[in-house]
């Protein structure tokens, strides 16, 4: 079977896992391309994304763009890539023919689900169901932005107090909402079925687990760790849901290896 959607991104990336988890649940073939973040400066950013040799780089010097958030080197982005992805970011998804670009991980996840729309309940059973799921996805974006800023700060070796304060507030707000959503006893965040809301939640919280690698940096800056046993006691339903889904057969191929790369205390 040929791929129905192509995705280019830095890897591993739990936000790409949003799409790959949906693909497993729906029986969809994806073509995922990428490398570690520090290696993407050696790649051609294009539908036909690929590593560049030194000779290739010389030939493609006219494609060089200044890197932005999360990257520090020059990047080789084609005009076709920027036409499909006007903000120039990854993960970047393409239709099978490369003509249509889809950006932002939640939108890519929705696109994969829509490839089998009507055959599952991942994006709701009707318009209202889909809108409720969208509500959780939109709330997740607020959490996701602060988590990304936090993770990038930790990776950069400095955590400004305002960054930690922002993610602390976002974490408390988001987790409290997820806890309340699960307290209804339906088993899943948006209702009685596994949906995109659950997938988004698991992958965004997985990204925050990068904190495990930086406990010493947090201590050096006199900043408290957020993912603690106390947090699990405060949000027991939310963390139990996270653990249960990480072990799910559609989640485990992504979540297992990713979380194992992060050293828990």
- For tokens 């889904």, name the residue: 245
For residue range 249-259, what is the model confidence (pLDDT) as tens digits? Answer: 999 999 999 99
Calculate mean pLDDT across residues 145-152.
97
pTM of the model: 0.95
Mind listing the domains of the chain with CATH numbers?
5-114 (3.40.30.10), 127-260 (1.20.1050.10)
Please tell me what DSSP assigns to residue 126: S
Q: What is the pLDDT of residue 1?
A: 55
Q: What is the pLDDT of residue 219?
A: 96
- For tokens 């020059």, name the residue: 74
**3-state secondary structure (DSSP) of residue 87:** coil
Task: Name the pLDDT band for 263 (thresholds 50, 70, 90).
Answer: low
Q: Would the pLDDT of 264 be above 70?
A: no
Q: Is the dihedral of CA 258, 147, 247, 6 positive or negative?
A: negative
Distances in Å between the Cα of 65 and the Cα atoms of 52, 84, 122 are: 15, 16, 37
Calculate mean pLDDT across residues 20-28.
97
Q: What is the pLDDT of residue 70?
A: 72
């Amino acid at each position: 079977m040929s791929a129905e959607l192509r995705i280019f991104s830095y890897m591993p990336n739990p936000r790409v896992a949003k799409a790959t988890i949906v693909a497993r649940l729906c029986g969809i073939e994806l073509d995922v391309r990428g490398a570690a973040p520090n290696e993407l400066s050696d790649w051609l950013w294009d539908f036909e994304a690929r590593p560049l040799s030194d000779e290739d780089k010389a030939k493609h010097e006219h494609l060089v763009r200044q890197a932005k958030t999360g990257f520090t080197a020059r990047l080789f982005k084609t005009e076709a890539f920027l036409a499909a992805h006007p903000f120039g970011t990854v993960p970047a998804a393409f239709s099978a023919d490369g003509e249509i670009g889809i950006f932002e991980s939640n939108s890519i996840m929705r696109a994969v689900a829509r490839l089998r729309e009507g055959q599952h309940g991942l994006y709701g059973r009707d318009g209202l169901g889909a809108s409720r799921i969208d509500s959780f996805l939109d709330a997740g974006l607020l959490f996701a932005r602060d988590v990304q800023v936090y993770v990038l700060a930790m990776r950069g070796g400095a955590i400004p107090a305002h960054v930690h304060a922002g993610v602390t507030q976002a974490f408390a707000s988001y987790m409290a909402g997820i806890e309340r959503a699960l307290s209804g006893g339906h088993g899943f965040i948006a209702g009685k079925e596994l949906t995109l809301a659950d997938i988004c939640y698991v992958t965004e919280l997985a990204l925050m687990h990068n904190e495990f690698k930086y406990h010493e940096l947090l201590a050096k800056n006199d900043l408290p760790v957020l993912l603690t046993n106390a947090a699990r006691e405060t949000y027991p339903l939310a963390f139990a849901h996270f653990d249960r889904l990480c072990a799910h057969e559609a989640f485990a191929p992504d979540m297992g290896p990713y979380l194992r790369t992060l050293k828990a205390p």
